[in-house]
Every structure is written in C-alpha cells, then in structure tokens.
C-alpha cells in the first residue's frame, strides 16, 4: 500500500514505510496521518513482513505537527482534539505491531516526530539529524505518548530538561541521552537500517512478537491512558492566550511574548 504521502516498499520480508512530504518536512498533516496509519496496519497484518523500517523523505524524518494549519482554524483546541486522535492510533499501532520496527532517522525530528521515533523498537540515526521538542516554545504540551515513551528511554530528568528548556540537539547528543541506539553517516543510514531489519527478519519472529508483547505489558500498559491524558492536556493548552501568541510568533518568525494566560 502506497500513496503520494506515504510510500511502502517491501524487499526480502522487510517493509519500509517512508513519510513522503519532504516539502513540509514530513509534518503530520491529516492526509499524511491517515495514510501512515493505513501503512502501519497493512504491515502489521502482512504475515510475510517480518520487520519494518520507518523513515522520511528529504531533509526530515518528521518535524511534528503542521503549525501552519492553525492559522486557518478559529478553534485551535478543536483542531488539536481531532488531529491527535489519528496520531494516537499511529503510536498504538506501532507498539501493537507483532514485529520489530526500526526508525531510520534521516533528518529533522521535532515534536510528535520524536514520539513517532520513540514508539519504534530501535532507532538508527544519521549523524546530520537534528532534534527539538518544540512544544513549550509555542505554549503547548507533548503528544503522541511523548511523556511516557521518551522518559523511559532517556530518564525523567533529561526528558524534563528537553521539554522545559526546548534546546535543539544533534545526533551525538541523542545517542548520549539514550534516545537513539546508533549513529551512522547519512549515506549509510538506509543500508544500516536495512541490514538490521534483514537480521531481524531472519530471526525467530514468534519470539520477537512475544518479547515485544511482554515489553508492552511491562512498560507501556499505561500508553493508551497516557495518550488520552496528553490529548486532554493539549486541548487545554490550545485554549490559552499563550498558545495563540505562540502560533502567531512562530508564523511571524519572532520571539513570543507569553503572559501565563
């Protein structure tokens, strides 16, 4: 299953899901989320697919949500309410998929793009990749399971630091934090991700499925509840004057003037 927005390719029992909106840095617009969810479900149901790679086209893995859409919406909180339903289904779909999923992080990764990578089982990163949480700079809060998935990988303190200070960081820092498993040169990324996926595809797939299921029970039993809590929090944050100021400042490329309201 492929579309203009999401390309799915399969070779030797390895499926590659490629977000394919490079002009917008693979931001999670509604059409992309719908097609990504379909791709995840198709790969999960295909008994001949033994491992999955998720990556992006162009200069980005996934830059998160599309801020530009909010300037067209009179009710920001309602837009967030509807949009996050699809994001949450994608995250749950990746976790429930009974086969290993590798994020091949090829470039810019922000906001829910970090959640998307964190929901995968392994993360291979190009040395040129850049990360930014992005939420507090526009007076919003994390989504896509960020507050459960990322602290499990990097620790509570570092996760809070990334959210509150919102400083950008690179691939080597992501490796040091424990957010990614391996960093390679950009030209080696797809080859390395495919090599790992092929090794997994040739392995004991039933054992992998059970291991992933057990990890989900141990670590992510609260995931669906956490996703809903995040969605509720995003709706509340989206109603604030600060969020409106944050969106305006982002679009006008200026520093926001928050008032705490």
| Residue 172 confidence (pLDDT) | 98
Per-residue pLDDT band for 247 (boundaries 50, 70, 90) equals: confident
Q: Which backbone phi and psi does 81 adopt, to 5 degrees?
A: -55, -45
Judged against a pLDDT cut of 90, whether residue 182 lies above it is answered with yes
Q: Is the Cβ–Cβ distance between 19 and 57 less than 8 Å?
A: yes
* Radius of gyration for the chain, computed over Cα atoms and rounded to the nearest angstrom: 18
User: How buried is residue 86: exposed, middle or buried, by Cβ count under 10 Å (0-12/13-18/19+)?
Assistant: middle
Judged against a pLDDT cut of 90, whether residue 1 lies above it is answered with no
pTM of structure = 0.93
| Residue 185 confidence (pLDDT) | 98
For the chain, give the percent of residues with pLDDT over 90: 74
* Domain 6-205 belongs in CATH node 3.90.226.10: yes
- CA 258: distance to chain centroid? 27
| Residue 74 confidence (pLDDT) | 57
Domain regions of the chain by residue span = 6-205
């Amino acid at each position: 299953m492929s579309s203009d927005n999401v390309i799915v390719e399969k070779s030797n029992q390895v499926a590659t899901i490629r977000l394919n909106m490079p002009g917008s840095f693979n931001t999670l617009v509604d059409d992309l989320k719908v097609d990504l969810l379909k791709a995840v479900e198709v790969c999960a149901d295909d008994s001949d697919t033994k491992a999955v790679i998720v990556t992006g086209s162009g200069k980005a893995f996934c830059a998160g949500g599309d801020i530009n859409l909010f300037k067209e919406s009179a009710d920001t909180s309602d837009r967030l309410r509807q949009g996050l339903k699809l994001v949450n289904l994608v995250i749950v779909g990746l976790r429930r998929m009974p086969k290993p999923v590798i994020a091949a992080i090829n470039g810019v990764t922000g906001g829910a793009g970090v959640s998307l990578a964190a929901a995968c089982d392994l993360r291979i990163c190009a040395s040129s990749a850049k990360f930014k949480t992005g939420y507090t700079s526009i007076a919003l809060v994390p989504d896509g399971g960020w507050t459960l998935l990322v602290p499990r990988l990097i620790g509570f303190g570092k996760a809070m630091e990334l959210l509150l200070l919102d400083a950008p960081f690179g691939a080597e820092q992501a490796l040091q934090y424990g957010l990614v498993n391996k960093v390679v040169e950009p030209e080696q990324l797809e080859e390395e991700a495919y090599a790992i996926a092929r090794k997994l595809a040739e392995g004991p797939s039933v054992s992998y499925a059970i291991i992933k299921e057990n990890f989900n029970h141990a670590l992510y039993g609260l995931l669906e509840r956490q996703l809903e809590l995040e969605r509720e929090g995003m709706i509340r944050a989206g109603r604030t004057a600060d969020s409106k100021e944050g969106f305006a400042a982002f679009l006008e490329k200026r520093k926001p003037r928050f008032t705490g309201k």
